[in-house]
Structure 1
Amino acid sequence: MPEESIEVTVEDLATARDAGAEVLDVRSPEEYAQGHVPGARNVPLEQLLRTPGEFPDGVRVVCQSGGRSLRAARALREAGVDAVSVSGGTAAWIESGRDTEGGAAR
Protein backbone atom coordinates (compact mmCIF):
# COMPACT_ATOMS: atom_id res chain seq x y z
CA MET A 1 0.00 0.00 0.00
CA PRO A 2 1.21 3.53 -0.62
CA GLU A 3 2.74 5.27 2.39
CA GLU A 4 0.20 8.12 2.27
CA SER A 5 -2.63 5.68 3.07
CA ILE A 6 -1.08 4.64 6.39
CA GLU A 7 -2.69 7.50 8.37
CA VAL A 8 -6.34 8.39 8.79
CA THR A 9 -8.15 11.23 10.58
CA VAL A 10 -10.20 10.95 13.76
CA GLU A 11 -13.28 11.38 11.58
CA ASP A 12 -12.24 8.29 9.61
CA LEU A 13 -11.64 6.48 12.90
CA ALA A 14 -15.11 7.37 14.17
CA THR A 15 -16.74 6.08 10.99
CA ALA A 16 -14.71 2.86 10.96
CA ARG A 17 -15.27 2.26 14.70
CA ASP A 18 -19.03 2.74 14.28
CA ALA A 19 -18.89 0.16 11.47
CA GLY A 20 -17.18 -2.37 13.77
CA ALA A 21 -13.47 -1.88 13.04
CA GLU A 22 -11.13 -2.94 15.82
CA VAL A 23 -9.23 -0.11 17.50
CA LEU A 24 -5.90 -0.79 19.21
CA ASP A 25 -4.52 1.73 21.70
CA VAL A 26 -0.76 1.20 21.89
CA ARG A 27 -0.12 3.45 24.88
CA SER A 28 0.91 2.17 28.30
CA PRO A 29 -1.82 0.74 30.54
CA GLU A 30 -1.49 3.85 32.73
CA GLU A 31 -2.04 6.21 29.80
CA TYR A 32 -4.93 4.08 28.53
CA ALA A 33 -6.62 4.19 31.96
CA GLN A 34 -6.53 7.99 31.89
CA GLY A 35 -8.95 8.01 28.95
CA HIS A 36 -9.26 6.27 25.60
CA VAL A 37 -11.39 5.95 22.49
CA PRO A 38 -14.52 4.00 23.49
CA GLY A 39 -14.11 0.32 22.65
CA ALA A 40 -10.37 0.55 22.02
CA ARG A 41 -8.32 -2.43 23.19
CA ASN A 42 -5.08 -1.67 25.02
CA VAL A 43 -2.10 -3.43 23.45
CA PRO A 44 1.06 -1.58 24.52
CA LEU A 45 3.44 -0.92 21.63
CA GLU A 46 6.15 -3.24 22.97
CA GLN A 47 3.65 -6.12 23.10
CA LEU A 48 2.30 -5.42 19.62
CA LEU A 49 5.80 -5.31 18.16
CA ARG A 50 6.48 -8.84 19.49
CA THR A 51 3.43 -10.35 17.72
CA PRO A 52 2.28 -8.02 14.91
CA GLY A 53 0.86 -10.82 12.77
CA GLU A 54 -1.76 -11.74 15.39
CA PHE A 55 -4.08 -8.82 14.67
CA PRO A 56 -6.98 -8.61 12.19
CA ASP A 57 -6.98 -6.74 8.91
CA GLY A 58 -8.64 -3.35 9.01
CA VAL A 59 -7.37 -2.47 12.46
CA ARG A 60 -7.05 1.18 13.46
CA VAL A 61 -4.13 2.05 15.74
CA VAL A 62 -4.13 5.01 18.14
CA CYS A 63 -1.74 6.39 20.74
CA GLN A 64 -1.54 9.84 22.38
CA SER A 65 -0.50 11.95 19.40
CA GLY A 66 0.25 9.60 16.50
CA GLY A 67 3.95 8.69 16.73
CA ARG A 68 3.72 5.30 18.41
CA SER A 69 0.64 4.33 16.43
CA LEU A 70 2.43 5.12 13.17
CA ARG A 71 5.30 2.85 14.23
CA ALA A 72 2.79 0.13 15.17
CA ALA A 73 0.86 0.46 11.88
CA ARG A 74 4.10 0.10 9.92
CA ALA A 75 5.03 -3.05 11.90
CA LEU A 76 1.56 -4.50 11.35
CA ARG A 77 1.77 -3.83 7.61
CA GLU A 78 5.20 -5.45 7.42
CA ALA A 79 3.59 -8.53 9.04
CA GLY A 80 0.88 -8.55 6.36
CA VAL A 81 -1.90 -6.90 8.40
CA ASP A 82 -3.94 -4.11 6.81
CA ALA A 83 -3.60 -1.38 9.46
CA VAL A 84 -3.65 2.41 9.69
CA SER A 85 -2.54 4.93 12.28
CA VAL A 86 -4.84 7.66 13.54
CA SER A 87 -3.21 11.02 12.90
CA GLY A 88 -3.19 13.13 16.05
CA GLY A 89 -4.14 10.15 18.21
CA THR A 90 -6.24 10.27 21.33
CA ALA A 91 -5.43 13.97 21.77
CA ALA A 92 -7.07 14.76 18.41
CA TRP A 93 -10.02 12.50 19.31
CA ILE A 94 -10.58 14.48 22.52
CA GLU A 95 -10.01 17.85 20.80
CA SER A 96 -12.71 16.92 18.28
CA GLY A 97 -15.21 16.78 21.16
CA ARG A 98 -15.73 13.02 21.09
CA ASP A 99 -16.35 10.99 24.24
CA THR A 100 -13.72 8.86 25.95
CA GLU A 101 -13.89 5.92 28.32
CA GLY A 102 -11.92 5.69 31.57
CA GLY A 103 -10.29 8.56 33.42
CA ALA A 104 -11.69 12.04 33.37
CA ALA A 105 -12.97 13.44 30.10
CA ARG A 106 -11.03 16.51 29.04
Structure 2
Amino acid sequence: MFGFFNKVASISVKELQEKINEPLTLLDVRTPNEYRSGHIKKAKNIPLNKVNSYKGNSNDLIYVICQSGMRSKKAAKVLQKNGFKVVNVRGGMSQWTGQIQGGK
Protein backbone atom coordinates (compact mmCIF):
# COMPACT_ATOMS: atom_id res chain seq x y z
CA MET A 1 0.00 0.00 0.00
CA PHE A 2 2.85 2.40 0.77
CA GLY A 3 5.31 2.56 -2.08
CA PHE A 4 7.59 5.25 -3.35
CA PHE A 5 5.50 6.07 -6.42
CA ASN A 6 2.11 5.29 -4.93
CA LYS A 7 -0.32 8.08 -4.45
CA VAL A 8 -0.95 9.15 -0.89
CA ALA A 9 -3.60 7.19 0.96
CA SER A 10 -6.51 9.25 2.23
CA ILE A 11 -9.47 9.02 4.55
CA SER A 12 -12.49 11.21 5.12
CA VAL A 13 -12.95 13.45 8.13
CA LYS A 14 -15.69 11.04 9.26
CA GLU A 15 -13.24 8.11 9.16
CA LEU A 16 -10.72 10.11 11.21
CA GLN A 17 -13.45 10.90 13.72
CA GLU A 18 -14.03 7.16 14.20
CA LYS A 19 -10.30 6.64 14.96
CA ILE A 20 -9.65 9.76 17.05
CA ASN A 21 -9.87 7.97 20.41
CA GLU A 22 -7.21 5.46 19.37
CA PRO A 23 -3.54 6.28 19.81
CA LEU A 24 -2.54 8.02 16.58
CA THR A 25 -0.18 10.64 15.19
CA LEU A 26 -2.02 13.62 13.70
CA LEU A 27 -0.17 16.54 12.14
CA ASP A 28 -1.98 19.82 11.48
CA VAL A 29 -0.05 21.56 8.69
CA ARG A 30 -1.91 24.88 8.84
CA THR A 31 -0.23 28.09 9.96
CA PRO A 32 0.26 28.59 13.72
CA ASN A 33 -2.50 31.25 13.65
CA GLU A 34 -4.98 28.89 11.99
CA TYR A 35 -4.01 26.15 14.44
CA ARG A 36 -4.54 28.43 17.46
CA SER A 37 -7.97 29.43 16.17
CA GLY A 38 -9.14 25.83 16.60
CA HIS A 39 -7.63 22.37 16.20
CA ILE A 40 -8.22 18.73 17.07
CA LYS A 41 -6.87 18.06 20.56
CA LYS A 42 -4.43 15.34 19.43
CA ALA A 43 -3.06 17.36 16.52
CA LYS A 44 0.51 18.59 16.55
CA ASN A 45 1.10 21.80 14.58
CA ILE A 46 3.82 21.37 11.95
CA PRO A 47 3.20 24.09 9.32
CA LEU A 48 3.51 22.96 5.69
CA ASN A 49 6.72 24.98 5.21
CA LYS A 50 8.37 23.05 8.08
CA VAL A 51 7.05 19.57 7.31
CA ASN A 52 10.25 18.56 5.48
CA SER A 53 12.16 18.73 8.78
CA TYR A 54 9.61 16.60 10.71
CA LYS A 55 11.40 14.03 12.87
CA GLY A 56 8.78 11.51 13.92
CA ASN A 57 8.87 7.75 14.26
CA SER A 58 9.03 6.32 10.74
CA ASN A 59 7.12 3.25 11.93
CA ASP A 60 4.09 5.29 12.96
CA LEU A 61 1.21 5.88 10.59
CA ILE A 62 0.84 9.65 10.33
CA TYR A 63 -2.47 11.38 9.61
CA VAL A 64 -2.15 14.84 8.06
CA ILE A 65 -4.86 17.52 8.17
CA CYS A 66 -5.14 21.17 7.06
CA GLN A 67 -8.09 23.47 6.39
CA SER A 68 -9.43 21.87 3.19
CA GLY A 69 -7.17 18.96 2.29
CA MET A 70 -4.89 20.65 -0.27
CA ARG A 71 -1.93 21.56 1.95
CA SER A 72 -2.17 18.28 3.82
CA LYS A 73 -1.95 16.41 0.52
CA LYS A 74 1.25 18.31 -0.34
CA ALA A 75 2.62 17.68 3.16
CA ALA A 76 1.71 13.99 2.93
CA LYS A 77 3.67 13.66 -0.33
CA VAL A 78 6.73 15.27 1.28
CA LEU A 79 6.47 13.02 4.34
CA GLN A 80 5.95 9.93 2.19
CA LYS A 81 9.03 10.84 0.14
CA ASN A 82 10.94 11.10 3.44
CA GLY A 83 10.00 7.53 4.32
CA PHE A 84 6.91 8.03 6.49
CA LYS A 85 3.65 6.10 6.18
CA VAL A 86 1.07 8.82 5.65
CA VAL A 87 -2.69 9.25 5.33
CA ASN A 88 -4.18 12.52 4.10
CA VAL A 89 -7.45 13.67 5.71
CA ARG A 90 -9.74 14.80 2.87
CA GLY A 91 -11.91 17.81 3.59
CA GLY A 92 -9.75 19.03 6.44
CA MET A 93 -10.84 21.16 9.36
CA SER A 94 -13.55 22.83 7.28
CA GLN A 95 -15.47 19.52 7.39
CA TRP A 96 -14.48 18.43 10.91
CA THR A 97 -17.52 18.29 13.19
CA GLY A 98 -15.82 16.83 16.28
CA GLN A 99 -14.49 18.74 19.25
CA ILE A 100 -11.83 21.35 18.70
CA GLN A 101 -9.77 23.43 21.07
CA GLY A 102 -8.10 26.78 20.69
CA GLY A 103 -4.69 27.91 21.79
CA LYS A 104 -1.43 26.00 21.58
Scaled to the shorter chain, the TM-score interval is: 0.7 to 0.9
Corresponding pairs, count: 97
Shift, 1:37, TM fit: 1.3
| Alignment partner, residue 29 of structure 1 | 32
Which residue of 2 is the match for residue 79 of structure 1?
82
> Could you list the per-position Cα deviations for residues 28-68 of structure 1 after superposition, in whole angstroms to 9, with x for gaps in the alignment?
1000011011221101111112x24x223211000000000
**Contact 1:17 1:23 survives alignment (8 Å):** no
State the percentage of identical aligned residues: 35
TM-score, length of structure 2 as denominator length: 0.84
Letter in 2 for 1:55: G
- Alignment partner for residue 62 of structure 1, among 50, 65, 80? 65
What SS does the corresponding residue of 1:100 show, helix, strand or coil?
coil
SS at match of 2:20: helix
Q: Which runs of 4+ in 1 moved over 4 A?
A: none
Partner of 2:49: 46
AA at the equivalent of 1:19 = E
The Cα RMSD (Å) is: 1.6
Alpha-carbon distance in structure 2 between the residues aligned to 1:37 and 1:58: 17
Report the Cα offset of residue 11 of structure 1. Answer: 2.1
Q: Structure 1: any 5+ residue segments left out of the alignment?
A: none
Q: Which amino acid aligns with 1:101?
A: Q
Is 1:11 aligned to 2:42, yes or no? no
- Give 1:10 shift: 1.1
> Aligned-pair distance for 1:85?
0.9
More helix by share: 1
SS of 1:18's equivalent? Answer: coil
> Match of 2:70, as an amino acid?
G
